[in-house]
Amino acid sequence: MKLYDYSRSPNARRVRIFLAEKAIEVPVETVDLAHGESHTPSFLSKNPLGQVPLLEFDDGTYLAESVAICRYFEEAQPSPPLFGTTARGRAEVEMWARRIELSLFAPVLVVWKHTDPSWAGRLPQVAALADMERARVTQSLAILDAALAQREFLAGDRFSIADILALCTIEFACEAANIWPDPKLEHLAGWHEAVARRPSARA
């Protein structure tokens, strides 16, 4: 088994944190996205979407998509559970994971692509679109704050993959899209401080 990884990819980081929480060690091979290594014919034959993280099994098959890789390890080694433990709990984790993915990470990516100089030659950057999506990010962060006023972690009283996705997204938003959560969102700030202090966050 081998994990294709890239240190600066926010999606690859999700898997590294997840594995650290489970204390699972997997051999890693770095794919240098910055130098196009994810779009060589060799890598595209492994994952046609040219993305990391990617998990290679010993039988030569592959599994792509960060959350799918995490789910594989959840099923293979259930403890500690990071996808919920009851019907409702698993559904809550899924709900928050999707909200992070679709209503926070997706607009952060749009802001990044429409403002960062590194994207200037690759698409028509439209400041008004970045502004609209920045407003969606603000709304989503407020929804996270309201949820975290009620409980310790996003999907309940137990750390889950939803917290991992949120941590990676919020830190990517700061670094790449220059979006910083309003410090008045104090429940979000307290949660962030707590999850960033976990040893897994250094992964």
Q: Where are the beta strands (DSSP E) in 13-172?
A: 28-30, 54-56, 62-64
Residue type, 49: L
Task: Give the largest CA-CA distance in the chain.
Answer: 51
Is 94 a binding residue for a second copy by CB under 8 A? The answer is yes
95 makes contact with a second copy (CB under 8 A): yes
The 47-66 contact track toward a second copy, x by CB under 8 A, reads: -xx-------------xxx-
| Position 126 contacts a second copy (CB under 8 A) | yes
Query: Judged by CB under 8 A, does residue 90 bind a second copy?
Result: yes
Within 36-160, where are the H helices? 41-46, 66-76, 87-100, 106-115, 127-148
Kindly state whether residue 146 participates in binding a second copy, applying the rule CB under 8 A.
yes
- CA Rg value for the chain: 17
Pick between residue 40 and residue 202 the one whose CB is nearest to a second copy. Answer: 40
**Interhelix angle for 161-177 vs 10-22, to 10°?**
150
**Which spans of this chain sit near a second copy (rule: CB under 8 A)?**
48-49, 63-65, 67-69, 71-72, 75-76, 86-88, 90-92, 94-95, 98-99, 101-103, 106, 123-124, 126, 128-129, 132, 143, 146
